[in-house]
Amino acid sequence: MTDLVCVGVIAGAYGVKGQVRLKSFCADPQAIFGYRLSDETGEKEFHITLSRPMKNGFVAQVKGLKNKEEADDLKGVKLYSNRDDLPDLDEDEYYHADLIGMDVLDTGGTILGQVKSVMNHGAADLIEVHGPGLKDTVLLPFTRDIIPTVDMATRRIIADPPEGFFPGN
């Protein structure tokens, strides 16, 4: 686990006066505006204020940006906050960053692969698993039925994937 957790991303410019489109990865999307935000190194800080909500995110002002070109330069920049500044999680809640790299095993103890990423396209979280014997990555729904156990201490996820998701399964 790292000290920094990705809480959002700048999706591009909005308008011509230096505003940006911002996507929040926080459970309460507006909470991002209450955190100290930096780049992934923690060295460059971003002071961002909410202008207004918009579909799939926010219009925000980054301190110091004056025009569209400066805002365009930040497109794709991930915003991080210090883990200590984030709220405590409930027992069955996890930061996506903590799941990446964890081993995924089936209920018999066979290694299926490692978590490459965690995604959410609207319905529910999906974990992307890659590993030996897989031509492509496998997307597993992050539900209690399919992922009954997440052991943060051993950095292992126990999965009970539907038949046919993995070779030999």
- The secondary structure of 59-109 as a DSSP string is EEEETT--SHHHHHTTTT-EEEEEGGGSPPPPTT---HHHHTT-EEEETTS
- With H, G, I as helix, E, B as strand and everything else as coil, classify residue 18: coil
75 falls within a domain = yes
38 falls within a domain = yes
Q: Does residue 167 have a pLDDT over 80?
A: no
**Are residues 66 and 102 both part of a single domain?**
no
- With H, G, I as helix, E, B as strand and everything else as coil, classify residue 23: strand
13 falls within a domain = yes
Our CA angle for 152, 161, 126, nearest 5°, is 60
90 falls within a domain = no
**Are residues 66 and 100 both part of a single domain?**
no
Task: Produce one character per residue of 132-142: b if its CB has 16 or more CB atoms within 10 Å, e if not.
Answer: eeeeeebebeb
Whole domain around residue 110: which residue ranges?
96-159
**86-131: per-residue pLDDT in tens?**
988 888 888 888 899 999 999 999 999 999 999 877 677 899 999 8
Residue indicated by tokens 């920094």: 4
For residue 58, what is the domain's CATH number?
2.40.30.60
- With H, G, I as helix, E, B as strand and everything else as coil, classify residue 28: coil
Largest CA distance in the chain: 57
28 falls within a domain = yes
**Are residues 104 and 81 both part of a single domain?**
no
**Are residues 9 and 71 both part of a single domain?**
yes
**19-69: per-residue pLDDT in tens?**
999 999 888 899 999 999 999 998 999 999 999 999 989 999 999 999 999
- With H, G, I as helix, E, B as strand and everything else as coil, classify residue 15: coil
Residue indicated by tokens 């497109």: 75
Among 85, 113, 133, which residue terminates a domain?
85
Q: For residue 59, give the nearest of 14, 97, 18, 102 by alpha carbon.
A: 14
**Are residues 69 and 49 both part of a single domain?**
yes
169 falls within a domain = no
167 falls within a domain = no
123 falls within a domain = yes
What pLDDT score does 71 carry?
96
